[in-house]
Copies of this chain bind each other. A is one copy, B any other.
Amino acid sequence: MYFASDNSGPMHPAVAQAMMASDTGFHPSYGTDPIMDSVRAQIHEIFEAPEAAVYLVATGTAANALALATLAQPWETVFCTPLAHINVDECHAPEFYTGGAKLSLVGDGDKMSADQLRARIESWTKGDVHTSQRGPVQLTQVTEMGRIYSLDELHALTGIAREYGLPTFMDGARFANALVALDCTPAEITWKAGIDALSLGGTKNGCAGVEAVIFFDPKHAWEFELRRKRGAHLFSKHRYLSAQMQGYLDGGIWLEAARAANANAARLASGLHDVPALEFVQEPQANMIFATLPRHQHQRLRDAGAIYGLWGEIEGDPDERLMMRLVCDWSITHEMIDEFLALAKG
């Protein structure tokens, strides 16, 4: 019963197969492998963006930090939410890669509203040499709390960014989960919605470790290549990144895996509605569930072998409610879900 994260499961068989298929003979190194050419063409087609610059790195933090460093000057501030991965989970990688850019927090949770964004941008006076200069707007889709920006919300936020001349970056570590939930096209949720750059997650959705960074305007291409190499993120045997991404995208495996993950979470959530002690923090929208239980219930679940995210200490007042995070990837089985539900209800 492993619901701790979607970074703990195996590769999707199609991804593993593509990686192994690439594991023969000699390939040109450092991103010049023919598989990468194929991946680039795949992404151009999937995103209806034939000019986009496309790069692969192995970690989501690298994708985020390198993309932001390309979009933000060191004296600029990135607008993001307090719960953004770049703010709380990357040990200052964004600050490191940007050379000291600051994060200006918008709202008080995992999502920002248009009004909040506008107010935060306005909080920094344009052209004042003493303060942070206004920089990129960063949005996470799916958010760190498992929520999804609607197309309308995206358009409103990117509209404000455009009004102020600020670039936009989407952290898409769980992009596929949002895409299938919204049931729209990749273009509609990104550049058609005003997004300038995207990290397209593979790792959490069936890959071993690969993320694509996509700049819809290729003007940043060469700078990004230099930043990737300087950051030590350019793989010599790059084909192993290319092959993962190829296997992930080919035949829509990425969408299939995301649909499976979301469906797993929906099945789990549906069952949890029958657990009287459990209160949902919000209705799940993708593959993550946030809910609260009294501590004694957590103790019981833990003792029975359930593994998931817990906010707070496992020891303490037995009646205190603690928040839990349950994450499903495509590989979670119905048996595992049902076993957990039986336990939770028990």
Contact A16 B11 (CB under 8 A): no
Q: Is the interface of A mostly helix, strand, loop or mixed?
A: loop
Contact A10/B24 with A59-B232, A60-B236, A96-B74 known, Cβ cut-off 8 Å:
yes
Copies in the complex: 4
A109 within 8 A of partner (CB): no
Contact B208 A237 (CB under 8 A): yes
Cα A3 to Cα B203 with chains together (Å): 33
A198 within 8 A of partner (CB): no
Cα A24 to Cα B10 with chains together (Å): 5
Interface positions of A from 110 to 153, Cβ below 8 Å from B: 129-133
A92 within 8 A of partner (CB): yes
Contact A101 B95 (CB under 8 A): yes
A157 within 8 A of partner (CB): no
Specify which of A24, A73, A93 lies most central, judged by the most chain B CB atoms within 10 Å of its CB: A93
Contact A96/B226 with A91-B131, A208-B240, A237-B203 known, Cβ cut-off 8 Å:
no
Contact B11 A26 (CB under 8 A): no
Contact A8 B26 (CB under 8 A): yes
Chain A interface, number of residues (Cβ within 8 angstroms):
68
Contact B29 A229 (CB under 8 A): no
Query: What residues of B have a CB within 8 angstroms of the CB of A101 in the complex?
Result: 92, 95
Cα A89 to Cα B64 with chains together (Å): 24
Query: What residues of B have a CB within 8 angstroms of the CB of A232 in the complex?
Result: 57, 59, 61-62, 64-66, 90, 93, 97, 231, 233
Instruction: Kindly supply a per-residue 1/0 record for chain A positions 66-109, scoring 1 wherever the CB is within 8 Å of any chain B CB and 0 otherwise.
Output: 10000001110000000000001111110111111111000000
Query: What residues of B have a CB within 8 angstroms of the CB of A88 in the complex?
Result: 130-132
A247 within 8 A of partner (CB): no
Query: What residues of B have a CB within 8 angstroms of the CB of A234 in the complex?
Result: 59, 61, 129
Cα A101 to Cα B95 with chains together (Å): 7
A42 within 8 A of partner (CB): no
Query: What residues of B have a CB within 8 angstroms of the CB of A30 in the complex?
Result: 129-130
4 further A-B pairs in the complex, CB-CB below 8 A; given A62-B232, A88-B130, A99-B100: A74-B99, A91-B129, A93-B230, A209-B236
Cβ-closest 6 pairs across A and B: A95-B100, A7-B236, A62-B232, A2-B26, A61-B232, A91-B229
14 contacts between A and B (CB under 8 A): A8-B26, A10-B25, A16-B23, A61-B232, A62-B232, A75-B226, A91-B229, A92-B102, A93-B232, A96-B230, A100-B230, A102-B102, A209-B235, A231-B232
Residue positions of A touching B, CB distance < 8 A = 2, 4-5, 7-11, 16, 20, 23-30, 57-62, 64-66, 73-75, 88-93, 95-103, 129-133, 203-204, 208-209, 225-227, 229-237, 240, 307
